[in-house]
Chain A
Amino acid sequence: MLNTFQQASHPVLPTATADEHARQEFAKSFKGFIQSSLLPGLFPVYGGRVSKAFEKAHGRAPQDRRDIRTGMVDDLYFQHYAAANRIAQELLWESVNVSVDRQLPELNAKAAELSAATKAQLVIPEGFEPPRYVTALDIHCMPGGYCSEVCENDISVGALYDRGVFLYAMGYTGPDNDDMGRSVVNYLKRRMPDFQPRRILDMGCTVGHSTLPYKELFPEAEVWGIDVGGPVVRYAHARAAGMGLEVNFAQMNAEETTFPNGHFDLVVSHILLHETSGKAMPKIFAEAHRLLAPGGLMIHADLPPFDLMDPFTQFILDNETWYNNEPFWGAMRDMDQIDLAERAGFDRATVKFDTAPMAVMEFAAAAEGYSQEASEAVADREFTAGEFAPGGGWEVLIARKADAQAKAA
């Protein structure tokens, strides 16, 4: 399959010169190559070489992901694989950063103009302190992280994220980067056709790419996206306005928002939890429970727990922890999310993991570069560790808050 997926433009998306665009395409191609051609080689390297060497040295077979890692880090093939992954990530950000820098004053001005023209709210409180788990390291090696501002009303890291995440996902999440949100909405509409949320909250929304499908597909609902990064919500607000959707955004911490009790019928997050911390995650679950109206749903689309995978798969996935500034990636997968949800107040019987099928097929042939064949190939893959996006669909954790009657009983 040749991946020719192209991102759709919108008014605040940074543009690229021909050479900038070619460098960005190269970074995307390089990532694709690593997954399709270098990643599969890890299996024979481990089975035919590394595990045997480990056994010889330790007198026993490797037992868990830590043992496997101990053996693999000394192997030249793995070193090339891991170095290539890291370099691809760095080239990706660099290729976008150059174009954001070139047009930064114009992008900031455009965002301010779009934001001023929409009725949707943008709340950026004075003196907001983002939590340490997002500021200690620049997560996934994105220069500046989610919170850095290089001037007043800056959106630079938002612009960097929007273009960068498309390349990171190699377009698997669609021309507007919105596959995760779109897939969850599709899931809800198919499984619960009567569910009509009046207010929807997207926690850890970054640039609102997953948030917008909720407004598009539940047009009557009041939709909010919150994130600890000021520049990203500022960008999100302008981006939504530029795409013609009235969605509210606020700089807020999902552990402790300022919304009243029972305010939302649906609280969602997309790849948020693995970028938080062991202390924050229970608080986020508890906050979601507090914010939900009786009968409301909490849905987190993130990474499936390690206990569902074999040790070699765990090892491959855990490379993100070690090599891509994702400090909580591995530890998060060791947490018992069902238990966390129960302790947050959800009835255990209503908590489950499920798969929301990828919506990428909907883009087939309708968006630039999304050929029928390539879109199908993405949607129908088997799960392969180390590839972006699980084949088949997104793993979602779903919990339902008890309705008022049941609670009173």
Chain B
Amino acid sequence: MSMTDNTERPHVIKDAKGKRPHFYEAPGLDQAMSMIMVLASEMATLRDRLDSAERVAKAHGIDLAAGIETLDLDQDALEEREARRQGFLDRLFYLARKDASEAGKVETTEGYNATIHDIAQQ
């Protein structure tokens, strides 16, 4: 059920009854693996959609797939793509970036807890 669905109508049952087993010892890894596979599914779905786009275009006389293979990227396009890739990697590794930043500023859990304590002082 989507969050925006306010209509009064029946909906299917989402979760199966029965305690889910866990497979890994590391806490959270079971959920992380599921999320990775959902993302993999979305990636495959997107790839299928692109494939569909190429096939639909071809049926209308535009050979997108061949055009893509022989496309010459001009300087603007090269820069746009490289920026997009770097932005993606940045987002993908945001926790590594945060970790390095914390190390640089010497931010620690103890420091964080001390801040909470200090601010609470009256």
Q: Which of B34, B45, B49 has the most CB of A within 10 A?
A: B45
Q: Contacting chain B: which of A25-33, A278-286, A297-305?
A: A25-33
Q: Which of B1, B12, B15, B34 has the most CB of A within 10 A?
A: B12
Q: Which of A22, A97, A143 has the most CB of B within 10 A?
A: A22
For residue A293, CB closer than 8 A to chain B, the reply is no
B10 touches A79 (CB 8 A): no
For residue A188, CB closer than 8 A to chain B, the reply is no
Which B-chain residue is minimally distant from A90 (CB atoms)? B34
Question: Which residues in chain B, 49-64, are within 8 Å of chain A measured between CB atoms?
Answer: 49, 52
Cross-chain contact of B16 among A79, A82, A325 (Cβ < 8 A): A325
Sampled A-B contacts (26; CB under 8 Å) = A18-B48, A19-B45, A22-B48, A23-B42, A26-B44, A26-B45, A27-B41, A79-B23, A79-B24, A86-B21, A86-B23, A93-B16, A97-B12, A101-B12, A104-B10, A104-B11, A105-B10, A137-B17, A138-B16, A141-B18, A142-B16, A150-B13, A156-B10, A157-B13, A160-B12, A322-B21
Known: A26-B41, A30-B41. 17 other contacts (CB 8 A): A26-B44, A79-B23, A84-B37, A95-B41, A97-B14, A137-B16, A137-B17, A138-B17, A141-B18, A143-B13, A143-B14, A144-B12, A145-B17, A156-B12, A156-B13, A160-B12, A323-B21
Nearest Cβ in chain B — how far from A200, in angstroms?
32
Question: Which residues in chain B, 1-49, are within 8 Å of chain A measured between CB atoms?
Answer: 1, 9-18, 20-21, 23-24, 30, 33-34, 37-38, 40-42, 44-45, 48-49
Question: Measuring CB to CB, which residues of chain A are less than 8 angstroms from any residue of chain B?
Answer: 18-19, 22-23, 25-27, 29-30, 79-80, 82-84, 86-88, 90-91, 93, 95, 97, 100-101, 104-105, 136-138, 141-145, 148, 150-151, 154, 156-157, 160, 322-323, 325
Residues of A within 8 A of B42 (CB): 23
Residues of B within 8 A of A157 (CB): 12-13
Which A-chain residue is minimally distant from B41 (CB atoms)? A26
Kindly state the interface size class of chain B when it binds its partner: 20 to 34
What's the Cα separation between A27 and B48 when bound, in Å? Answer: 14
Residues of B within 8 A of A101 (CB): 1, 11-12
Evaluate whether A143 and B12 lie within 8 angstroms (CB atoms) in the complex, with A26-B45, A82-B23, A137-B17 already known: yes
Residues of B within 8 A of A30 (CB): 37, 41
